[in-house]
Amino acid sequence: MSAQGDGSGRSLLLLGGHIYAPRDPFATAMLTQGGTIAWIGDDDAAHAYADEVDEVVHLDGALVAPAFVDAHVHLTALGLALSSLDLSGVTGADDLLARLRAGSAESSGVILGRGWDDSGWEEPRIPTRTEIDTVVRGRPTYLTRVDEHSALASSALLARVPGVESLDGFDPDGPLRRDAHHAVRAIALTSVGPDERRNAQRVALDLAARRGIACVHEMAGPSLSSEDDLRDALSLGAEPGMPDVIGYWGELEAIERARDLGAHGAAGDLCVDGSLGSHTACLRAAYEDRPGTVGADYLHVEQVARHVVASTRAGIQAGFHVIGDRAADIVVDGLLSAADTVGADAVRTCRHRLEHVEMLDDRHIRVLADLAVVASVQPAFDAEWGGEHGMYAARLGRGRALTLNPFAAMSAAGVCLALGSDAPVTPLDPWGAVRASAFHRNPHHRVSVRAAFAAHTRGGRRAAREEAAQPGVLSAGAPATYAVWQVDNLAVQAPDERIAAWSTDPRSGTPGLPALEGARPDCARTVVSGVTIYDRGSLA
């Protein structure tokens, strides 16, 4: 098969498939001209164009749908995770040390590892620093927990961080949290040179393209990466043949710096709190498995309000990382205070955004809806850690755990949902995220597959305030940004509470989506504004 159009004016006709176009639920063909969709219809009408186009592709029943947008990623961390020591799936301290021993023998320089998750270990003991030092034989070592909010480090690495013992979150023999973790992470990542960093970003973006993702929202900031890291990511995303990269810079009131860096806003992982797994999410009541601990509040109401006011007056998005219910209180009160200062309409116009927002109550949801605040959520968190017996239940108790990630209530209230992965915390798996939304472990929080798909396509465009240029739907006149999927069958989800009930009746008048109870759809091609960024070569 020849390469698809490069956006310079070539025309392409797709025939014999299923086009996910809400205005024409029975469409089987699509014509693109350069970077734009010129026409959508059925095969009979399409044959009139066949002799006039530069290329005809026979889809053989494949699904053509808007490409995904991952609304929360960390490109360098993802790329490095794919090549560093994989600690996911370790079963306990001894297993972690054994894997570290094997991995350290194969690496040079600073040993980087990630992905350990003690919440599922039968024996809750975490390796001591002395044990780590012995295994790595004095080498600098940084091993981040799966949530990226705490880490284990060797003595040799700590020695490179003057005064680390006096920082909040320092533990003389256990995981580092808060400021101590941030300082040690920054030093560990200085071992990654510019070329290695750019290669890691390229690897991550290539993977995104293979997953049918046309755009990612990169969450950068001074405690996460660096200014050069964000500049490189944005530059790479601007290259032909790459997914688009929309960047955010999470630094308090750093409006001009965000603008200078080319960021969409002073938003993203500007942390109000930490994570549930690391016991640093800020809670109203103590953790079930750690009485007396309520987590950490990194920002206060007045700081949130000032940041939102400054961003609103500058006309750019503000945003925060928020997980715990007390953290949500802080952000909501800050948003309301900002609205009192600059006016609710001004706040709504900027469409500020919150990342994660897992522990929302009815009041929180009402305020987000009223002030047009985007909820950038990660459904894979519920799939991985939710339910009555998961990590959330261990941390919070069953009752509180089942309140997390109330997607249905947010959607019903009119909150814009944008789906993402927080990669490398969870994998780039957009269909998995759609499925996790529709099969939420708490049935009351489920949304339809169609709503979840919209949140992972159109929602990501709305979250970045770019839906005018990239609407995230397939229609004549819209950019030719789409993915081609080979699927076993398509169906329409029944409009009732039986989330697994599907219909293949064409009288529904609704375009079908993959029935996600089986295998994931397989991406055959990803296209951004007429430029193919991934092609498996299986279409003809």
Please compute the mean of the pLDDT values over residues 88-98 and round it to a whole number: 95
pLDDT tens-digit series, residues 11-42:
999 999 999 998 898 999 999 999 999 999 99
Q: Is the preceding peptide bond at 424 cis, omega within 30 degrees of 0?
A: yes
How far apart CA 208 and CA 205 sit, in angstroms, is 5
pLDDT tens-digit series, residues 34-88:
999 999 999 999 999 999 999 999 999 999 999 999 999 999 999 999 988 999 9
Which is the CATH superfamily of the domain at 265-419+430-447? Metal-dependent hydrolases (3.20.20.140)
How far apart CA 444 and CA 403 sit, in angstroms, is 9
Question: What's the confidence (pLDDT) of residue 128?
Answer: 95
Residue in the structure block whose two tokens are 């794919």: 82
pLDDT tens-digit series, residues 499-511:
445 455 454 557 8
Question: What's the confidence (pLDDT) of residue 508?
Answer: 54
Q: In CATH, which of 3.30.1330.30, 3.40.50.1980, 2.130.10.10, 3.10.310.70 is domain 74-189?
A: 3.10.310.70
Q: Taking the CA of residue 496 as centre, how many other CA atoms within 13 Å lie in the half-sphere pointing to its CB?
A: 6
Q: Which residues, other chains included, contact 142 with Cβ-Cβ below 8 Å and sequence gap of 6+?
A: 110, 111, 112, 113, 151, 152, 153, 154, 157, 184, 185, 188
Which is the CATH superfamily of the domain at 11-66+474-535? Urease, subunit C, domain 1 (2.30.40.10)
Question: What's the confidence (pLDDT) of residue 529?
Answer: 96
Q: Are 277 and 147 in contact (CB under 8 A)?
A: yes
On average, the pLDDT of the chain sits at 93
Question: What's the confidence (pLDDT) of residue 494?
Answer: 52
Directed axis angle between helix 325-342 and helix 301-314, to 10°?
50
Report how far apart, in Å, the C-alpha atoms of 222 and of each of 103, 186, 295, 395 are.
Answer: 29, 9, 22, 29
pLDDT tens-digit series, residues 327-356:
999 999 999 999 999 999 999 999 999 999
* Domain residue ranges in the chain: 11-66+474-535, 74-189, 265-419+430-447
3-state SS assignment for residue 442 = coil
pLDDT tens-digit series, residues 380-412:
999 999 999 999 999 999 999 999 999 999 999
pTM: 0.92
Q: Are 30 and 74 in contact (CB under 8 A)?
A: no
3-state SS assignment for residue 332 = helix
Please compute the mean of the pLDDT values over residues 150-157 and round it to a whole number: 95
Question: What's the confidence (pLDDT) of residue 120?
Answer: 86
